[in-house]
Amino acid sequence: MQRHSLNSRTIWSIVIASLVVVFACVWSGGVTSAQDGTKEFTAAIEKYLALQKKAVGTVPPIGKDVTDAALIANHEKQVADAIRALRPDAKVGDIFTPEARRMITSAVKLKVEGKEGVDAKATILGEGNPKSPESATPIDLSVNAPYPIKAPLSTVPPSVLMALPTLPKGVEFRFVGRNLILLDTPANMIVDVLPNVF
């Protein structure tokens, strides 16, 4: 009887130790995956911004004090055309790589799901979101597609922005419905798309 009790304790000790090892591996794997996703995303953004800088350099500059909407739109189109010429084969996932996609999707879902995420989700899907019922301007969710001037820009809640990688000047995160886009601000152009992020 004593021996049976000892064996049971030994077995339970082994089971518990195994579970601890498994959970530790899963947790550290998740951390590593998030770090890898951030590194991949940051590297892709830096590469894109170098290309953006090169494209902007080929376009006649526009003065900072210019307020004429037509002139601004024309300049954005010239920059966008120059970028398209430098990345003609651009496709979904060039910047939102698989690792980056997993990391960003997890971060967004963490901030918009459950009771704590109600306000953030409402802000994202609210009237500023171009896929909301109030928006009448269709958006082509293709890489290198122009972002319509008349379309509203969604608000990205601070809680979501803080969970995402910090973006340098020249690109922004925006939502179109439940899709996350990377928007090139000088070109007013969609750089990449992460469909159905939540």
Q: How far is CA 85 from the centre of its chain?
A: 24
- Is residue 175 within 8 Å of residue 181, measured between CB atoms? yes
Torsion sign over Cα 80, 82, 88, 93: negative
Q: What is the pLDDT of residue 163?
A: 95
Name the residue range of residue 143's domain. Answer: 2-194
Q: What is the pLDDT of residue 97?
A: 95
Tens of pLDDT, residue by residue over 159-183, are 999 999 999 999 999 999 999 999 9
Tens of pLDDT, residue by residue over 104-150, are 999 999 999 999 999 999 999 998 899 876 777 889 999 999 999 98
When pLDDT is averaged across residues 34-48 and rounded to a whole number, the result is 90
Domain count, the chain: 1
